[in-house]
Structure 1
């Protein structure tokens, strides 16, 4: 079986990145998009897609159909298209909850093939304008397929060029895992920021938070519109994860009330050990930023010289943060980059240009 045409429903961050990656690696593939007219116009003008579809049934003209709309919109399209597939067509979804699709599949008969995929990659900002053909490089992609066959291998071989690394998993197990490693952290981050946002005696507590607090709560800035359907579709697993987390909080309170610092020490040690076992090169739902810290003297033009040195070497600073400053002396700046390679290169260049820089270990 050969894939010569791809139809993508939803050209947001994930769908747009898939389209750009396929276009970059396999320009001979015909790519068609289904989305709002303004997004389709933008994608077509950038030559990311070859044709715009304004009716969902037009997707049935393609060998491979990718559903990348919000969960329930993708599910509605799944119910429309799956029964109409022929034996040479493959339908996949790339949504972040899988059980809802595997259960729905059992209600329909189809001559075609369905595979559930979930690329573990993302950014803080969504939309086609933020899509990137390198988004999936070395990212884990869960594959939920009860009937693996040659068509499965065809799709995975086809998508290998995107940089995804595939892991087969049961749909229900997948949903339990993402509830723990993605959905729980999102809600906990929201709760943490809201808990700290207190005011007393004219002081706003959150104004005194440092870079560590900002790092651990970065995902609290996520848009609820993007999360609402994910939470709805995986509600029971998320509730279970929150209850487990609540048990951890209750245990900490008990340790503190009883002055049981040995148990707290054990918790710290266990957390340190477990965190150090997280694979450093794994991408997650929010793509990590890599940073270096630089001391700059309090002199006019110093910051401009730093940014010019990096720009002249084609290094793009994704974000910059002032950590500490002492008037007349200088301050520490943290520079963020979108890859470990960029951060390493920036570190070497700054050292060569006599800047006092330190490279983050990432741990």
Structure 2
């Protein structure tokens, strides 16, 4: 396997500095400051990345990435496909081209269709956040995250890509493109559509104000942008439809059991689901990270929220979400403060208690 010294001399190009591309750049720079990173994006994005020292140079055209050792395609799916077609004939024989999209078969098909040089390895980091863009990119995004690589046949000379990704904290898994698309249709694409459907199936608008934490958590990904998902759905249509059929069957089974007062069938469904869910690895990230919540009771007085947020800011603690859950005018209310990491939640709790506020719950 490639050593760190060899990695330090790499030339990396990243096409698209959004959530994933920006996080790749930040993580590489954090781990290997000497690696030369060039990037293609709109001026306001690459200027920000340049000013932060995340990239070394900005590229005005995609073709300018062709002499890099490794190129990451990190644009939305359809634009990454277009960039693949543009770059494939211009690559060096030794250049590794990889993408980060949520579908894989279509990329391998396109690679086979175009006149190409270099090496193509499909990539899909199984991690993410609710909100995209460079502003939300994170150097720790890949820490302990599953990172799927796809190839149609045994490919040589990719140890350097594997070593680079593992140095970012990722856990590498190899699948065929077809296996990838079948798996993610069930564990990523279907949950996205279910979250959207749950929100859209609410019987009336005021119902949302009664939704508790559980509903909020399982529908968190419903906030995802459609322009990101549209090409994913289009390019994995068959596998998504298969996943939807399996889900429809489960819904019909539960509906029938309720109609027939079949308590045994319902119990079996619940117990089977619990058993299977317990097998999901607890130490790896998913597409949307779990947030860690504190419920804080405060008195109804001016400036309370500002006092809380300023104190946390001064300690370098980032609040990912704030929600006012309950309030009684003249008495007080409860805020839900959400944090990205467990240690941030723990540190925040100490700051809040020191301020004299009461933490009523922690999750």
Q: 1:23 aligns with which of 29, 38, 47?
A: 29
The answer on whether the counterparts of 1:347 and 1:359 sit within 8 Å (CA) in structure 2 is no
Stretches of structure 2 that go unaligned for 5 or more consecutive residues are: none
Q: Identify the match of residue 230 of structure 1 among 216, 228, 232.
A: 232
Secondary structure, in 3 states, of the residue corresponding to 1:61?
A: coil
Give 2:268's match in structure 1, choosing from 266, 269, 277. 266
The aligned counterpart of 1:241 is: 243
Range that drifts further, 136-145 or 75-84: 75-84
Q: Report deviation, 1:321.
A: 2.0
Contact 2:67 2:91 (8 Å CA) reproduced: no
2:120 to 102, 114, 123: 114
2:345 equivalent to 1:323:
no
3-state SS of paired residue (1:106):
helix
User: Does the Cα contact within 8 Å between 1:347 and 1:358 map onto a contact in 2?
Assistant: no
CA distance 1:330–1:266, change in 2 (3 Å): farther
Partner of 1:159: 165
- Which residue of structure 1 aligns with residue 344 of structure 2? 342
Please state whether the residue corresponding to 1:336 is helix, strand or coil: strand
Asked if 1:123 is matched to 2:129, the reply is yes
Give 1:101 deviation, angstroms: 1.4
Which of 194, 197, 200 in structure 2 is aligned with 1:194? 200
CA shift, 1:271, in A, is 2.3
The 5 Å alignment of 1:31-110 reads 31-108=37-114, 110=116
- Cα 1:357–1:207 shift into 2, 3 Å: closer
Partners of 2:77 and 2:63 in 1: how far apart?
18
Contact map agreement 2:67 2:95 (CA 8 A) in 1: no
SS in 2 for 1:151: coil
Rounded to whole Å, the distance in 2 between the matches of 1:193 and 1:149 is 44
Aligned residue in 2 for 1:185: 191
CA gap of 1:307–1:42, structure 2 versus 1, over 3 A, is: closer
1-side partners of 2:361 and 2:347: how far apart? 10
TM-score (norm 1): 0.89
Is residue 292 of structure 1 aligned with residue 294 of structure 2? yes
The runs of 5 or more residues in structure 1 that have no matched partner are none
Number of residue equivalences? 357
The alpha carbon displacement at 1:244 in A equals: 0.9
Q: Is the 1:83–1:111 contact (alpha carbons within 8 Å) kept by the matching residues of 2?
A: yes
Q: Deviations over 1:93-149 (max 9, x none)?
A: 111111111222333564421111111111111112222222212211001124445
In structure 1, how many angstroms separate the alpha carbons of the residues matched to 2:74 and 2:180? 18
Q: Which residue of structure 2 aligns with residue 134 of structure 1?
A: 140
Equivalent-residue separation in structure 2 for 1:294 and 1:277 (angstroms): 33
Distance 2:42 2:147 in 1: 27
Which stretch of the first structure deviates more once superposed, 335-344 or 72-81?
72-81
Q: Give the stretch that moved more between structures: 235-244 or 320-329.
A: 320-329
Q: Per-residue deviation at 1:235?
A: 0.9
Cα 1:75–1:266 change in 2 (3 A) is same
Q: How far apart, CA to CA, are the structure 2 residues paired with 1:290 and 1:314? A: 16
